[in-house]
Every structure is written in structure tokens, then in C-alpha cells.
A and B are shown apart, each in its own frame.
Chain A
Amino acid sequence: MRAYFRNIYAAVSTILIGMRITFKEMFHPSVTNQYPYQYYFEKRKNVRGIHKGFRGQLYIRMEDCIGCKKCAMICPVDCIYIETSRLEKGITLSDTRAVVRLKDQTVWIGELLEGDEKIEPGTVVKLRDLDGNLHESPSEHVEHVVTSKKRRLKLDRFDIDMSLCMFCGLCTEVCSTSCLYMTQTHEFSTYDRASLLFHFADPSIYEGLTPDETETKAEDGADASEGRKQKAARRRQREETA
């Protein structure tokens, strides 16, 4: 008999405990993110944004590509298509820019002042970036350094088929100049499979170059094609006045 009433008491009291919890929960703010409308989660402590090492959509800085095709070769699914041709005789392009990547995934791009690809312990890596800011870091914090390289090939085609890409990141690891990298972009779905073939080759980089212009090594660090265009424009002006 006692067990009978104890059973009733247990049932009623535990139901009340459960009901108290659900009632309290009604007044908690919801944890829902209204995804496409509410994208970044600054106000939420429990939801983190995208991590720094996230492997998203591929992107390449064409003005730093030397056309070595290492990425196309290592790609397990062959989704990178590169066609190169030789530069006409006498034409030189600007050197590629140096890249320093730190272990916390910070990337600096610009002119390397101190340090080398072989990272000696105890030394300092120094780099002036495109805006002229000076960065330096002890070599223990540096993941890798890519020094500036000469560009001898013209890229006629650099296509990446993101519909095939498996986001392994091998191409970015082998890239000689660290100009191929994975962005954090991950929302690039389209209605059409063909539009996932991204064309990166930029013929404008090679525009306005004439064979006699041997001195156009961009010392300025800034966007190479931009600098060259300005120089070409200045030259044309000079010829007109003469």
C-alpha cells in the first residue's frame, strides 16, 4: 500500500519537475540562426564563425602565378586546367611577391626584407606589405616563407572546376609562390553546373607590354599590371609631346 502511494507521488512530482523545466525553457532566447539572413554570429557565444584554416573556394592571385603547373599535377581529381605560352623575346614580367605565413594562419604578402625559405631558428622574418606596412615575426612563429620568383611564362588559361574539387588543399601546399589559396567562401552554389568552372586567367596582365620595355620590373610592389599600365600611359604621352 505504501509503495502504491509512493509511486503516485513519484509520478506526480517528477512530472512537475519536467514541466517546470520546459516552462523555464520557454523564456530562454532561441538558439536558432536564421541562416541566410542572419549570417555572422557575433552576439552568440555558443556559435563560432568560420575557422582560419577553413578550406573553402579556391582563389589565385594571377599576378603571382609562375605557371609551374604543380597544382594541376598534384590535383587528385584533375580539376585545374592550365595552358601557358612563352613570353615574347625581351619581355620580362615583374617578380612574384614574397609570402610569409605564420602558424596562426596570418598571411603577409609583399617584399621580403629579412629571412629565407629555410627558416633558421632564432632569426627574424621581416616583410613590407603592399600598403608599405612593416611586419616582423620571430622565426618560431613562422610556418613558411616563399621568396619572390621570376615569371617566365604567360598564362593563357587558368581554370578551376569547383564542381570537381574535393577541397583537399594539396594544390595550395605545392604552389611555388603561395598564390593559390583557399578562401573562406563556401556558399557558391549555382543553378548551373557550368558556372562552377571559374576562369582566372587575366589577359590584361600582359596588355601593353612591348618587347623593348625590358626595364619594366615592377619595383613598386603594388599591383604589377596597374603599375605597368601607368608607365605605358606615361610613355605614350611622352611620344605624343615629342
Chain B
Amino acid sequence: MELLSSLIFMLVIAAALLGFVMLLALILVLAERKVSAYMQDRVGPRRVGPFGSLQTIADAIKLLLKEDIISLQADRKLFILAPYLVFVSSFAVFAAIPFGRNLIASDINIGILYIMAISSVVVLGIIMAGWASNSKWALLGAMRSAAQMVSYEIPLALSILSVIMLVGSLRMQDIVGAQSGGLFSAQNRWILLDNPFTFLAFFIYFISALSEVNRTPFDLPEAESELVAGFHTEYSGMRFALFFLAEYANMFAVSAIAVTLFLGGWSGILPGYTFLNGVPGFVIKVSVLVFVIMWLRWTLPRLRVDQLMSVCWKYLIPIAFFNLIGVGVWILIFD
């Protein structure tokens, strides 16, 4: 009985999170289209609903009604499984993201480690999709994606490690608690501003995270101009929509993690402005980061494969290592 009730409780939370992610994707897709439109002096969607607000819903309905094509040459089981794997692993990240003081689905004591682990499963799903499609575009996209995501996980982990060293805990709420002072206070200020090395770590994290979620300028796995659509070339209808959903869910998750680790999470921005504490402040910070991700996408061209690798192995990883040592020395000397 105890087990059953806790199972139901978990299902309710999962359903709530799923609803949140769906809503998020609807908003973010529209936001992205609007941002890109304004940056290119266009007006963006505005026909469906007031100011085009229902455009994504219309698109989602269209995708639902589309024919579900599974190529005869495809590896049927893997082909069907891949989008679920990608979506589930990017969805599972939300379980450990603290939205507010008590708004966290599961405050496990290895929160950030769990996030790192579960988000790596996305690579598996993408390779599975590329392989199962039995198409050269998809396979090339998947291979690129694997190389990219595996490489960029290193600087990502190293930059997160510097935060963990500083806080001394893997628990997400502890990391937020260590930054409860806000932006400028002497004690417990944002980890971003704690010392110059963590400041740098934030940018390393952000660049690697961009690459992890396959966003421009690191969108080689789905480079339209070269690979049609990359790993999801052969997918149609709702299966494609799952990849799409996962991309936007990832974008939010990555920004939310950046906010939690470096920008104070749900704790307030400035002491005294209590209305910015909790969920509103969190949402504002995450929205700003999401906007920056979109902003970068509509500004920068895509990197070449060799450039991608050189950015990671020649620049990010050495700097991240140096940075990690720097944080360690800083802690030894000043704390």
C-alpha cells in the first residue's frame, strides 16, 4: 500500500512535469520564431491566434495528424525506440532541477551527477536513430553528434566540477543554498562572481552546453545545408515532434542548470527585492539564458567539423583544466 501510494505520487509529479515540458516547448518554439524574425527584420508568425500565439499548437496538431513513416529498410525496433530514448533522457533531467524552495521533483544527494549521467543517454538515442534509419544523412549526423557530444562532455564536466569543489555538495538545493546572498553580497554571492575562475567556468559550461544540445553554432548533427536534417532525416509526424520537443526541453534544461550552478538558482537576484525570490526570479534568469542561446543561433554560422573538434580539444579542455586547478588554489588560499 505504501509502495502503491508513493508510485501514484511519482506518476502525478511526472505527469505535471511532462505537462510543463510540453507547455515549455510550445512557448519556446514560438519565442524562437519571434526572436529570429525580429533579428532578421521580419514579423514572424502572427496569423494563428493573437500575435501568432497559437502557431505552435497548430503545428503540433499538424504533426500529430501526419503519416507515420517507417522506412522498410530501417531497423524497425531501434527506429521506434530512438525518439523515446532521446525524449525520456532529456525529460528525466527535469526531475533534479530545483524550481523553487520546495519545487524539486527529487532532491537527491547526487543531483548534478544524475543530471550529467542521464543527459548523456541522449547520445545513445541519437546514434540509435541515425543507425536505425539506414540512411547516409542520418548516419553521418549521428556519428558527428556522437563525436561532438562525447568530446564536449569533458569541458562541461570540468566546469561543473569547479562549482562542486566550491560548494562541497552534489545536491542541487545545496548548490542553490550556497548562493543565497544574491548578486553582490560579500558572502554567499552567485558562484559566477565568486572568483575569476568560476566566472570563466560559467562560459566554458555555457559553450559546452550549447554543443551538448546541438544548437548553433554547434548544430552539426542536424546541419540542414549538408545533411538534410541529420539524425532525424527519416522521421516524420509525431516521432519527429519528439526529437523537436527534446531539443527545446534540453535548451531549457541546460539554461536551468546554468542558472542553478552559477546564477543563484531560485534564490533572489538582489537582497531586498523579495518578489524576485523563488520561481519568478528563476524563470527570469532562465529566460535570459534561453534568449542568449537563441540570439547566438541567429548570429553565428555553423562551425566546420575540424573547427568543432579544435575548439573543444585545443581550447575548452585545456582552459577548463587550468580553471579547475585555479579554483582549487583559490579555495586553498582564500577560503
Contacts and interface: CB of A to CB of B under 8 A. Distances in A.
B39 A32 contact: no
A22 B298 CA distance: 8
Nearest to A23: B295
Contacts of B43: 30, 32, 34
Nearest to A12: B203
B41 A28 contact: yes
A25 B39 CA distance: 5
A122 interface: no
Interface string A10-33: 000001001101110111111110
Contact of A15 (B40, B42, B300): B300
B296 interface: yes
A47 B38 CA distance: 19
B300 A26 contact: no
A177 B40 CA distance: 51
Interface residues of B, number: 14
A194 interface: no
B315 interface: yes
Contacts of A34: 43
A242 interface: no
A31 B40 CA distance: 9
A86 B40 CA distance: 64
Contacts of B295: 19, 22-23
Interface in B281-327: 295-296, 298-300, 315
B37 interface: yes
A22 B38 CA distance: 9
Interface in B4-48: 35, 37-43
A44 to B, nearest CB: 12
A191 to B, nearest CB: 21
B299 A31 contact: no
B315 A32 contact: no
Interface residues of A, number: 16
Given A8-B315, A30-B43, A32-B43, A18 B299 contact: yes
A201 B35 CA distance: 55
A31 B39 CA distance: 11
B296 A25 contact: no
Contacts of A32: 41-43
A31 B44 CA distance: 12
B42 A22 contact: no
B39 A26 contact: yes
A125 to B, nearest CB: 47
Given A18-B299, A22-B295, A30 B37 contact: yes
Contact of B38 (A15, A21, A26): A26
A18 B37 contact: no
A19 B315 CA distance: 21
A34 B43 CA distance: 9
A165 to B, nearest CB: 33
B42 A30 contact: yes
Nearest to A25: B39
A15 B315 CA distance: 16
Contacts of B42: 30-32
Nearest to A8: B315
A21 B300 CA distance: 11
Contacts of B38: 25-27, 30
Contacts of A27: 38
B23 to A, nearest CB: 25
Contacts of A22: 39, 295, 298-299
Contacts of B299: 15, 18-19, 21-22
B41 A25 contact: yes
A8 B322 CA distance: 15
Interface string B126-168: 0000000000000000000000000000000000000000000
Contacts of A23: 39, 295
B296 A19 contact: yes
25 contacts: A8-B315, A18-B299, A18-B300, A19-B295, A19-B296, A19-B299, A21-B299, A22-B295, A22-B298, A22-B299, A23-B39, A25-B39, A25-B40, A26-B39, A28-B41, A30-B37, A30-B38, A30-B41, A30-B42, A30-B43, A31-B41, A31-B42, A32-B41, A32-B42, A32-B43
Given A8-B315, A29-B41, 16 more contacts: A19-B296, A21-B299, A22-B39, A23-B39, A25-B38, A25-B40, A25-B41, A26-B38, A26-B39, A28-B41, A30-B38, A30-B42, A31-B41, A32-B42, A32-B43, A34-B43
